[in-house]
Structure 1
Amino acid sequence: MDSIEIDPQAKNELQDSFSSTLEKLAKAREAIDDPALKPPPATARNLAEGYRYLSGYTFAAYERAFAEDVDFPYFRRAIQTINKSTWDNSDNLYLSAAIDGEASYRIRCKAADFRHWQGKKQQDKSAPWYVIFTAITHYTGDSGELAELTPATTNNGGSLDGSQLQIDVDGSFEILVAPEKPQGHQGNFICTKTAHKGQEQTCNYIICRELFANWETEQSLDIHIVRLDKVGEPQPPLSVDQVKANLARVGDLVNAQMRFWNDFFATILDGYGDSPVKTPVAFPAPNQPNQPAPPTAQVGAAQATNIYSGGMYVLEDEEALIIEQTIPVKPNYTGINLNNIWGESFDYANYQSSLNNLQAAIDSDGKVRYVIAHQDPGVQNWLDTTGHYTGMLSQRWAYTDEPNELPTLKVTKVNFSDINQHLPKDTSRVTTSERKEIIRIRQEHVQRRFRQY
C-alpha cells in the first residue's frame, strides 16, 4: 500500500484559493444590479434571469478552467441550455476545444447523410444543415475590457464549412489543424496562424458550429480531436498548483465575462441609447434593427461566413412587429431568434422564439415575413416573446462566399388586431393543434441536441 503523507500546506493553500474564488464570484454578482456596471433594468424577471446568467457563466468557467488542456483536448459544449450567452443562435450546437497553436492536431468526424452540404437533397437521419470549423485566438470577453475589440486584433483564423470539406462516402472525414500545411498534404486543413493588420496571431481554440434546420431529423456529428504528439500518452495527475491556478481562473473568467458583455451591450451596441461611443454595429432606435452586414472586429468571434442584423424590440401587450426580409442571393442557412438583454436566447424548446430557413414559410412573392408578438397570431412565422416586453432580435444569413448583394429588411410596428392587414392573403397559417405539434418537435430536438449521455 502506498504511504499517505498528510500535507497541511496544500490544505491551507487550496482552502485559501477556493475562498478567493468565492470572493471573485461575489464581485461578479455585482454586474447583475450595480448601475455602475450597466446591467439591464432591475425588473423581477431581469433579476431572476440575471442570477441564472451568472450561474451559467460560473458553470462554464469551472469546465473551462479544469477541462481545457491543450495536450489532451476534447470538444465541450461552449454554450448549452444552462449557460446561454452572447446572443447565442437557437439553431446552434457550439463546440470548443482548447489547442496549442504551435502544435498539430487531428479532428476526426463522422456525419450522417451529408449530401445537402454539397447542394443535393438530404434524407432522413441526416447531418446538421450547416457545419463550420473555425480556429480562433481567444474567447471574446475574457479580458473584461472592450479594448480587446480594437481593429488591430481579430478572433478568427482558418475555417472550413461543410461545402468545403473532403468527405468519404460513409460520412467520415478528418481535418489537420496545424500552424502550417505540411508539404504534399492534400486533405482538409485549418491553419492556426492568422495575420491581421500586419500582425501574426496564434489561435488557441477550435470552434465547431453545428446548425440544425430540420429539428425532427438532423443528427449531430460524431467528433473527436487529438494532439498528434500525445497520442496514447496518459494525462498527468492534477497538482495543487494547477488546482490553485484553475480556481483563480474561474473567478477571473466569470468577472471578466459578466462585466465585458454588460459594457458591450451598453457601449458598443448602445442598447440603452445613451452611449458616448457610436460604432458601426450600434443599434438604431427600438424596433428598427440594423440592415444586414458582415461581422466586424467589434463583434468578436462571430461566425466568419455570417451576415448579421441585430436590434432591440419594445412591444406593449397589443402591439406586434412585422419583419419583411428580401433575400436576393440564397444563403446556405438563415435564422432569426429572440434574446433577453443579458444575451441569453429565449427558451426555444418550449416556445417558438426562433425560426430558420426550413421552419419559416416563404411568401408567394419570394419574401419572408415574421411576426413578433406576445400572443399567437395564428401565422406560421410567429416569434414568441415569452412575455418579454423588451428583448433583442438577432438575424443571420450564412454564405460560403460573401454574396454580391445582401439581404434587406423592412420593419413595421402594428397593432396586434391589424396584423393581417400587413400580411399577404396567402400567408401560411397554423392551428392550435399544429402549434402544439411544432412545440413537441422542438422539445424533443433540444433534448437530443444537448443530451448528457
Structure 2
Amino acid sequence: MPHTQHPVTDGDIISGELWNQFCDTLKQAGQQILRPEAPTDAATRAEGFRYLTRLLRIGLEMHVEFSDPQFPGFFKPSHETAKIGADNPDNLYQSARLNGQYEYRIRGQRNTVHYLSFRTQKGGYESDGSMIETGFLDSNQLSPDEQGQFEIIVSRDRPQQLLPHSHWLPMEADSNALVVRHTFHDRQQERAAELTLQRLDGDSAPPPLQAATLARGLLDAAHFVDGTARLFADWAASYLPHSNLLPAANQAECQSVGGDPNIFYYHSHWALAEDEALVVDVAQVPDCDTWNLQINNYWMESLDYRYHRICINKHTAHYHADGSVQLILAHRDPQHRNWLTTAGYTQGTLCFRWVGAEQQCHPTTRVVKLQQWLADQSATAGATL
C-alpha cells in the first residue's frame, strides 16, 4: 500500500530516530514472508528472508547511492544475486533515476545483444506500487551509424531537430526512472550494449550529502522492500488456484508494474512430487523477437541460472519438425533436450514470455508420472526428444 512520507528534521538524523524508522519498516516487511498462504518449510522461509536482504540492496542502490536525477548513473535493479518479480535470466537490466523537469542524453554502442529496449516510467513500488510507462523505444527503432553508435535524447518535449542516428525517448513531468533491458539469445556469445547517461546542462559535481536527502533515501529504500515484497507475494498467492497450469497473465497489470510493452506474459505456480514432471507444449511458435520459459522460487526470484538450466529460449530450444516445441520441468534429467531442472525445489512459480509476437500461441501444460511418460515416449514411433 502507498506510504505517507512524514517530514524528517536534522534532529531526527542526530537523535537516530530516522534510523529507527528505517529499521521498523524493514521489520514490517518480514510479515510478507510469514503470510499464511506461503510455504512454511525452513528452506522457503530462509529464501524469503534472503529475498528481503536482496531487495534492500537494490533499494539502497536505487534510493541512496544512485538517487540523484541531476547526476544520474546506471545500476542493476535485478541480477544474479538480487531478483525482482520473475526477473528474466536472458536479460541484463539497467536502471537510472530521472526527473521529468530535466533533459538527458544516452550515448550507446549497439554491439550484438539480440534485443534492447528503453523505457521511462513514473511511480514506484515504494510509493503507489506501480511503474507506469511514460515513453518507450526498442532496438527495432534504433538506427545506429556504421560503427554501431547511437544517441537518445530523453525529454518531455520532442527536440526540434535530431541529428542522424539520434532518437527521442519521451518523458512526462512526473517521470522518475529509466529502465533498459538487454535481452540475449546467448549470453556467452552476444555483447551487451555499452551505454552512458548524462543530464544536459547540469553541474559538474553533486553537493555534499544533506540530512534530508539521506532521510528520504533511507525511508524510500525501506518502503521499497516492503512494497515490493507485498506486491509479488500477492502475485504468487494469486497463482496457487491454477498451479501447474500456465494461463495468460493480466497484461495491463504486468504493464502497470514495469513490464515491456512488447512482451506478452504468462505466470503461474508449479508443484511436483519426486516422481512427477510438468510437460509444457507449444503447438506453433509464432514469428517473434524471442520467447522463453523460466522457473522461479515461490518469491518469484529466478532460480540460480549461473549453475542450473532453469530457462530455455527461442535460440536454445530444440523444435519438432512441424515447428512445435515441448519443454519439460523435472527433478531429474529425462534425457529430453528441452529439460528444465527444478534445482532441488519442489514448488515455485514460473513465467513464459512472447517478445515481439503479433499473435500468441498459448502454451498448454500437463503433469505426468515421469517413468510412465518416458516409457510412452520410447514406445512412440518417431518421438522427438
TM-score over 0.5 (shorter chain): yes
Distance of aligned partners of 1:192 and 1:317 in 2 relative to their CA distance in 1, 3 Å threshold = same
2 CA distance for matches of 1:366 and 1:172? Answer: 36
Where 1:78 maps in the other structure, the secondary structure is coil
Poorly superposed stretches of 4+, deviation over 3 Å = 9-12, 422-426
Q: Which residue of 2 aligns with 1:450?
A: none
- TM-score, normalised relative to structure 1: 0.77
1 CA distance for matches of 2:230 and 2:267? Answer: 21
Distance of aligned partners of 1:138 and 1:377 in 2 relative to their CA distance in 1, 3 Å threshold = same
Q: 1:190 aligns with which of 161, 169, 182?
A: 169
Alignment of 1:142-153 (within 5 A): 142-143=126-127
CA contact (8 A) 1:133 1:206 kept: yes
1 CA distance for matches of 2:133 and 2:180? Answer: 12
Q: Which residue of 2 aligns with 1:65?
A: 63
- TM-score, normalised relative to structure 2: 0.89
Q: CA deviation at 1:228?
A: 0.5
Q: Which residue of 2 aligns with 1:256?
A: 227
Q: Which residue of 2 aligns with 1:413?
A: 367
Q: Which residue of 1 aligns with 2:134?
A: 157
Q: Which amino acid aligns with 1:346?
A: L
2 CA distance for matches of 1:313 and 1:138? Answer: 31
Distance of aligned partners of 1:395 and 1:11 in 2 relative to their CA distance in 1, 3 Å threshold = closer
Q: CA deviation at 1:11?
A: 9.1
Q: Which residue of 2 aligns with 1:124?
A: none
Alignment coverage as a number of residue pairs: 369
Question: Is 1:356 matched up with 2:313?
Answer: yes
Distance of aligned partners of 1:12 and 1:128 in 2 relative to their CA distance in 1, 3 Å threshold = closer
1 CA distance for matches of 2:141 and 2:258? Answer: 20
Residues 259-280 of structure 1, C-alpha deviations (whole Å, 9 max, x = no match): 23223333xxx2233xxxxxxx
CA contact (8 A) 1:144 1:257 kept: no
Q: Which residue of 2 aligns with 1:111?
A: 110
Structure 2: tracts of 5 or more residues without a match: 1-9
2 CA distance for matches of 1:367 and 1:223? Answer: 37
Q: 1:296 aligns with which of 229, 233, 252?
A: 252
Q: Which residue of 1 aligns with 2:218?
A: 247
2 CA distance for matches of 1:410 and 1:245? Answer: 46
**C-alpha RMSD of matched pairs (Å):** 2.2
Q: Which residue of 1 aligns with 2:178?
A: 206
Distance of aligned partners of 1:158 and 1:412 in 2 relative to their CA distance in 1, 3 Å threshold = same
Where 1:76 maps in the other structure, the secondary structure is coil
Structure 1: tracts of 5 or more residues without a match: 1-8, 113-126, 149-153, 194-200, 274-284, 429-453
1 CA distance for matches of 2:92 and 2:278? Answer: 28
Residues 258-303 of structure 1, C-alpha deviations (whole Å, 9 max, x = no match): 223223333xxx2233xxxxxxxxxxx2221114x78213552111
Identical columns (%): 26
1 CA distance for matches of 2:381 and 2:68? Answer: 54
Residues 366-397 of structure 1, C-alpha deviations (whole Å, 9 max, x = no match): 11110110111111100111122212121111
CA contact (8 A) 1:135 1:157 kept: yes
- Greater Cα shift, 347-356 or 257-266: 257-266
Q: CA deviation at 1:328?
A: 5.1
2 CA distance for matches of 1:415 and 1:407? Answer: 26
Q: Which residue of 2 aligns with 1:265?
A: 236
Q: Which residue of 2 aligns with 1:198?
A: none
Q: Which residue of 2 aligns with 1:227?
A: 199
Q: Which residue of 2 aligns with 1:43?
A: 41
CA contact (8 A) 1:102 1:192 kept: no
Residues 186-221 of structure 1, C-alpha deviations (whole Å, 9 max, x = no match): 53111113xxxxxxx742211100111112211122
Distance of aligned partners of 1:323 and 1:243 in 2 relative to their CA distance in 1, 3 Å threshold = same
Residues 209-253 of structure 1, C-alpha deviations (whole Å, 9 max, x = no match): 0111112211122111111121x6211111122222222222222
Q: Which residue of 1 aligns with 2:93?
A: 94
